[in-house]
Amino acid sequence: MTDVEGQVYMTLLELGGGYVSGVAKKAKLPRVNCYHTLENLTKKGLVSYITKDKVRFYSAEPPQKIVNVLEEKFHYAQKLLPELLSITNTLTFKPKISYYEGIEGIKSILDDTLTAKKELLGYSNLKGAAELLDKELIMNYAEKKMRKKLKTRIICPSSEEAFDFTKNYYPKDFPIELLEILFVNPREFWFEHEITIYDDKVAVISLNKDELIGMIFESPVYARSQTAIFNLAWLGASSFIAL
């Protein structure tokens, strides 16, 4: 878990359970941030809830559950590592690379990601994307993803802008099951590029306004390698807790 998730988990333990508003107040966090954090902890199996008068009452799972989850993920990572090494060792050729410049080039890359037949995996800085790209462009992209029913998993540095990103840019009826965002500590993991892995391709977009460039690497072997690395990063980020 992230530092914030650890803080919320410890707060729940101290309170013995509570509603979002009470947990947020005790943890000294904005209510929206606390809600997202509780949802992430619930997905990880470290927090559960019951509904009282249509409002969720959250409870922390026993601390031993954290150890069990970490052990399970550690064993899974051990099984995954030989596959990662095998894929890396077979990458002996250069992939096909397409180069793009400017906002129009970035639009072309985003349009290409919409051709994906499977889920999109990515590292992104949603705060940086919101500052760089036109709001209408982001909203149209989100709308197209919804129509195509493209599932997306993103690892992103946490920030107020990132927490509010879906509320500000995604359709109100966007299915929650199509988007999963894992927030990480921005002090340790601050991304200046957006990387999207899909099908046999890996797209890279600079989020620096002074460096408006992007590339698409097309290679089944390279894409499989990056997919495995992303899954390992997702596993590691979702397993960490700072208590």
Q: What is the pLDDT of residues 27-54, one digit of tens each?
A: 998 988 899 999 988 888 889 999 888 8
241 pLDDT more than 50: no
CA–CA distances in Å: residue 42 to residues 1, 7, 49, 57: 12, 14, 8, 12
Q: How confident is the model at residue 92 (pLDDT cuts 50, 70, 90)?
A: low
How far apart CA 230 and CA 215 sit, in angstroms, is 18
How far apart CA 113 and CA 110 sit, in angstroms, is 5
pLDDT for residue 94: 62
Structure tokens at 96: 């096909």
**What does the DSSP assignment read for 26-67?**
HHT--HHHHHHHHHHHHHTTSEEEEEETTEEEEEEPPTHHHH
159-170 pLDDT per residue, tens: 888 888 888 888
pLDDT for residue 88: 64
How far apart CA 200 and CA 202 sit, in angstroms, is 7
How far apart CA 228 and CA 232 sit, in angstroms, is 6
3-state secondary structure of 125: coil
pLDDT for residue 242: 35
Going by C-alpha positions, the residue among 195, 193, 152 that lies closest to residue 170 is 152
Q: How confident is the model at residue 23 (pLDDT cuts 50, 70, 90)?
A: very high
Do 166 and 179 form a contact (C-beta atoms < 8 A)?
Answer: yes
Map out the domains of the chain with their CATH numbers. 3-60 (1.10.10.10), 71-239 (3.30.870.10)
Q: How many other CB atoms sit within 10 Å of the CB of residue 78?
A: 9
112 pLDDT more than 60: yes
8 pLDDT more than 60: yes
Rg (CA), the chain: 19
pLDDT for residue 228: 93
The DSSP bridge pattern shows strands 120-123 and 152-157 to be parallel
Question: Would you give the distance in Å from CA 25 to the centre of its chain?
Answer: 26
Do 157 and 191 form a contact (C-beta atoms < 8 A)?
Answer: yes
137: buried, middle or exposed (CB in 10 Å: 19+, 13-18, 0-12)? middle
Rounded to 5 degrees, φ, ψ at 204 are -125, 125
pTM beyond 0.85: no
How far apart CA 144 and CA 21 sit, in angstroms, is 34
Structure tokens at 170: 């995604």
Give mean pLDDT, residues 69-88.
77
pLDDT for residue 76: 78
